[in-house]
Chains A and B, each alone.
Chain A
């Protein structure tokens, strides 16, 4: 960015978006700290966890929950906090921030679509599925997804009027929606979404473009890694696997080409270590240690997200806040599961500290 662009960004950002940036920085101060997690790890029961979280930002959402507590109840209450914050930000956002905030939720929209379609395939009640959808990804005609028999119907009847419409490719098929096709659809939609999001932030430009490009590149690489890991031993062919990788990121295109042909974790590791930023990450893993890989990748993501708050006058802080909250909810869920299963010795395996 040139000096003039920097200056104009600093001078003009606060006119429309300064208030919400201040709000989100206030929300960020409510994230759980290391001492909070240490106290949570000392809890003996889920009731203790609920009692401790009542004294945090989650208090208003947990205080009236009846006993006995369950892990899913804790997760739902914590998610309601994120949803309430996000809705306040969205309702007070101008443009183009409003569009940016919408882009941040399209991933949840894709997850909701897949949830409804999968649940319908398993003959679950649509109302029950709707209640469990992520509120951040809801849209008007979501209940109509249950009538679709194949992907062409899915697009033609429902999704053509949603923000996900551009993510459906021209070669829609009439194949039935079975587990594999749904999984391919999920990852294909997410790939198109990431590509579109990256184009959008590039058009926004400025500090937002710089910061969000890095965050989205990491997200694309992480998804490529997870798709590769999860497809080992599955029916997904190499060509189909390659088609699910995003068209950007540090691994694009050569790293992705190696990941596409990887057959075990060692080959994946070899492909990832050829990229210097990931070599440092994988050096912390022992041989064949796939279980720690999730935590290490989340730690790297959190490190990048926290660093976004070091700069001002950009939209990246909103995306970072959402992802940090989601990581916090994952931490709380992991702690609750370890407490419920009497596996407190393993609780440190899943906590990613933010501050």
Chain B
């Protein structure tokens, strides 16, 4: 077999592996969401419907986890509890470094699944009222919060960046731009429309105010969303938090796998077209 044929076979196998990873990540995501919504319902049952509802959400929410791209793969950046925060609660996944730290998005852990969770892999139905509201809260983009001592300038910088990202998303169907607009975050490369990120974040490692974090450098780190519902919450609510965190990791893993599938498919299409 020729080298090019061997390479084509390897690429085909890699694409199939990526497709399998994608399906597994999708299944893990569905399972984590299903378990999370049920745990949320259990928390409402235990603590009371008035204590676990959309009424506990703050009027201005800041993302505790952001999506970061190093040009090859997506990863999660979690706020560091050591940074100044309006709440003393620690974030679910944090590192010792300051600023935003990369979280492991490649292996959605199943350790937090509830003991009695349903193991069916079918996609869950629509969540309950509080569940849908909580899930929506998990993906609400970070509002441009006034920074300490420089609120107007920071807010204007964020607004301008969001506007640039929206324009870039309209001009390109890239997943990075779409995600950046939706979650109100930098796409990793400033405002380059359709361009590759310049990697100023340094390989996705923990950065403290460097590169794309400059606009968020003076914004207080967000507190833990669990504290919205009080300091003494039911264990089922803590489980729901962990399960939704797993779901977030699974979503990023699915996105990465999907990117590899597309890249592999494009490569195979190109090699077949070139061969013909």
Closest to B60 in A: A123
Chain B residue nearest to A231 (CB atoms) is: B232
One of B45, B57, B126 near A122 (C-beta < 8 A): B57
Of the listed stretches B9-17, B65-73, B112-120, B203-211, chain A binds: B112-120
Distance (whole angstroms) from the CB of A232 to the closest CB of chain B = 8
A291 to B46, CA, bound (A): 9
- Residue B235 is within 8 A (CB to CB) of chain A in the complex: yes
Pick from A186, A226, A291: contact of B116, CB under 8 Å: A291
Contact, CB under 8 Å: A340 / B127: yes
Q: How far, in whole Å, are A248 and B32 apart by their CA atoms in the complex? A: 42
B78 → chain A closest CB, angstroms: 19
| A291–B115 CB distance below 8 A | yes
Is the Cβ of A230 less than 8 Å from the Cβ of B234? yes
A-chain residues with CB within 8 Å of residue B6 when the two chains form the complex: none
Number of A-B contacts (CB under 8 A): 129
| Smallest CB gap from B233: residue in A | A230
Tell me whether B131 is interfacial, beta carbon within 8 Å: yes
Any chain B CB within 8 A of the CB of A115?
yes
Q: Which of A187, A232, A350 contacts B45 (CB 8 A)?
A: A350
Whether B87 is near chain A, meaning CB under 8 Å from some CB there, is: yes
- Whether a CB of chain A sits under 8 angstroms from the CB of B236 is yes
Most buried by B among A129, A329, A330: A330
> What 1/0 mask marks residues of chain B from 149 to 191 whose CB sits below 8 Å from any chain A CB?
0000000000000000000000000000000000000000000
In the complex, the chain A residue whose C-beta lies closest to that of B115 is: A291
Chain A interface size, under 10 / 10 to 19 / 20 to 34 / 35 or more? 35 or more
Chain B residue numbers with a CB within 8 Å of A229 are 234-235
* Docked pose: A79 CA to B89 CA in angstroms: 33
B50 at the interface (CB under 8 A from A): yes
In the bound complex, CA of A105 to CA of B48 (Å): 16
B231 touches which one: A71, A180, A337, A349 (CB < 8 A)?
A: A180
Q: Is A239 at the interface (CB under 8 A from chain B)?
A: no
Which of the listed residues B38, B41, B57 has the most CB atoms from chain A within 10 Å of its own CB? Answer: B41
Is A102 at the interface (CB under 8 A from chain B)? no
The answer on a CB contact under 8 Å between B41 and A289 is: no
Asked if A119 meets B55 with Cβ closer than 8 Å, knowing A183-B230, A337-B44, the reply is yes
Contact across chains for B56 and A118 when beta carbons are under 8 A apart? yes
Within 8 A of A (CB), among B106-147: 114-116, 118, 124-131
Smallest CB gap from B114: residue in A: A291
Tell whether, in the assembled complex, residue A122 and residue B58 are in contact, meaning their CB atoms are under 8 Å apart: yes
User: Contacting A123 at CB < 8 Å: which of B58, B116, B118, B235?
Assistant: B58
Chain B CB within 8 A of A346 CB: yes
Nearest CB in chain A to that of B116: its residue: A291
- Could you say which residues of chain B place their CB within 8 Å of the CB of A186? 230
A258 and B186 alpha carbons, distance in the complex (Å) = 51
CB <8 Å contact, B232 and A230? yes
Among B127, B228, B232, contact of A227 (Cβ-Cβ < 8 Å): B232
CA distance A233 to B92 in the complex (A): 13
Q: Report B-chain residues with C-beta under 8 Å of the C-beta of A341.
A: 34, 37-38, 41, 124-128, 131
Give Cα distance in the complex from A119 to B50, angstroms: 12
**Is B263 close to A, CB under 8 A?**
no
Chain B residue numbers with a CB within 8 Å of A182 are: 230-231
* Interface pair B128/A337, CB less than 8 Å apart: yes
A120 to chain B, nearest CB (A): 10
Within 8 Å by CB of B227, from A179, A226, A230, lies A179
A280 part of interface (Cβ distance < 8 Å) = no
Q: Report the interface size for chain B: residues with CB under 8 A from the other chain.
A: 44
- The yes or no answer to A35 lying at the interface (CB within 8 A) is no
**Nearest-CB distance from B276 to chain A (Å)?**
47
Q: Is A169's beta carbon under 8 Å from chain B?
A: no
B42 within 8 A of A: yes
Structural contact, B236 and A340, CB atoms closer than 8 A: no
Are A340 and B128 also in contact (CB < 8 A) when A233-B238, A291-B42, A333-B44 are?
yes
Interface membership of A319, Cβ < 8 A: no
Residues of A within 8 A of B34 (CB): 341, 343
Question: CA of A349 to CA of B56 in the docked complex: distance in angstroms?
Answer: 26
Interface membership of A75, Cβ < 8 A: yes
Question: Within the assembled complex, what's the spacing in Å between the Cα atoms of A290 and B231?
Answer: 19
> A residues 329-344 with Cβ under 8 Å of B?
329-330, 333-334, 336-338, 340-343
Find chain B residues with CB under 8 A from A125 CB: 59
A229 vs B234: C-alpha distance when bound (angstroms):
7
| Interchain CB contact under 8 A, B227 and A333 | no
Query: A residues within 8 A CB of B41?
Result: 334, 337-338, 341
Which residues B29-56 have CB closer than 8 A to chain A?
A: 34, 37-38, 41-42, 44-46, 48-51, 53, 55-56
Contact B233 A122 (CB under 8 A): no
| In the complex, residue of chain A having the shortest beta-carbon distance to the beta carbon of B46 | A294
B115 touches A289 (CB 8 A): yes
Please name all residues of chain A whose beta carbon is closer than 8 Å to the beta carbon of B38 when the two chains form the complex: 337, 341, 343, 346
Docked complex Cα distance between A182 and B56 (Å): 13
Q: Does A90 contact B (CB under 8 A)?
A: no
Please report B residues at the A interface, Cβ cutoff 8 Å.
34, 37-38, 41-42, 44-46, 48-51, 53, 55-60, 87-89, 114-116, 118, 124-131, 227-228, 230-236, 238
A-B contact pairs, 28 of them (CB 8 A): A72-B130, A111-B48, A119-B55, A122-B59, A132-B55, A179-B227, A179-B231, A184-B231, A186-B230, A230-B233, A232-B235, A233-B238, A236-B232, A290-B235, A291-B42, A294-B42, A294-B46, A294-B234, A333-B49, A334-B45, A336-B128, A340-B126, A341-B38, A341-B128, A343-B34, A343-B118, A343-B124, A346-B118
Q: Besides the contacts A70-B129, A340-B127, what 6 more A-B pairs have beta carbons closer than 8 Å?
A: A123-B60, A129-B55, A183-B231, A288-B115, A291-B115, A341-B41
